[in-house]
Amino acid sequence: MSENHKLKIEIWSDVMCPFCYIGKRKIEKALDEFPHKEKIEIEWKSFQLDPTTKSQPGKSTYDYLAEKYGRDRQWSIEMHANVTDQAKTEGLEYNFDKAIIANSFDAHRLSHLAKKYGKGNELEELIFKAYFTEGKDVSEIETLVELGKNVGLDETEIRTMLASNLFKDAVQNDIIEAQQIGVRGVPFFVLDRKYAISGAQPKEVFTETLEKAWEGWIGQRN
């Protein structure tokens, strides 16, 4: 079935954003109850919360956030605990004590390669899990190769892509597009280019917006 026969949901996100993984679960739960789920297509779009982030293995996530916002370590610990609790309500396990600060640009490039083969959604799940749950360095080549192979991508193609500038423009174009449509933070969901949801809203918000978008989409075809 071609994409012309599916309602598209575009999701701008960054693997370093804890609310993006939570938002992924929320929309998935809404879709699980949506009677026309098979007519929905999800496309992941790249976004970087901080393009200047340097990969820092060994750097405490708690210290990193405290320093970034000029706060103390205890504030950061409490912030992370709150997010961890929110993730838990969605069935997600966050382990910030072993998370590795990393630049997400190459992970986004790998996402575009996966999208080329219809594996974008599967890869996003594995990248989120690698960073938030498993404490893997998602900027490290071997980690990305492993993740790509786990969704069925060819190892040689992954390594060739990572060693080149392939999909660099695609990532940057996603980010520019986000700026053009007024995205200020992620996750940001756009349904059928007409309805937008900003943030990891309650599942009910996704359900209601899905129904509105579906009615409009179907109406255009009748």
As a whole-number percent, the residues of the chain with pLDDT over 70 amount to 98
Virtual torsion, Cα 142, 51, 129, 88, nearest 10 deg: 160
Q: State how far the alpha carbon of 112 is from the alpha carbons of 93, 106, 138, 152, 194, in Å.
A: 26, 10, 15, 14, 23
Q: What is the pLDDT of residue 185?
A: 92
Average pLDDT over every residue of 147-172: 98
Q: State how far the alpha carbon of 213 is from the alpha carbons of 130, 203, 206, in Å.
A: 32, 15, 10
Over residues 49-66, the pLDDT tens digits come to 999 999 888 999 999 999
Residue type, 88: K
pTM score, whole prediction? 0.94
* pLDDT of 1 higher than 70: no
Q: How crowded is residue 62: how many other Cβ atoms within 10 Å of its Cβ?
A: 21
Planar angle of CA 201, 48, 80, nearest 5 degrees: 55
In the chain, where the domains are located:
3-50+105-221
Q: Quickly state the pLDDT bin for 39 (edges 50, 70, 90).
A: very high
Over residues 71-128, the pLDDT tens digits come to 999 999 999 999 999 999 999 999 999 999 999 999 999 999 999 999 999 999 999 9
Q: What is the pLDDT of residue 222?
A: 63
Fold for 3-50+105-221, please state it.
Glutaredoxin (3.40.30)
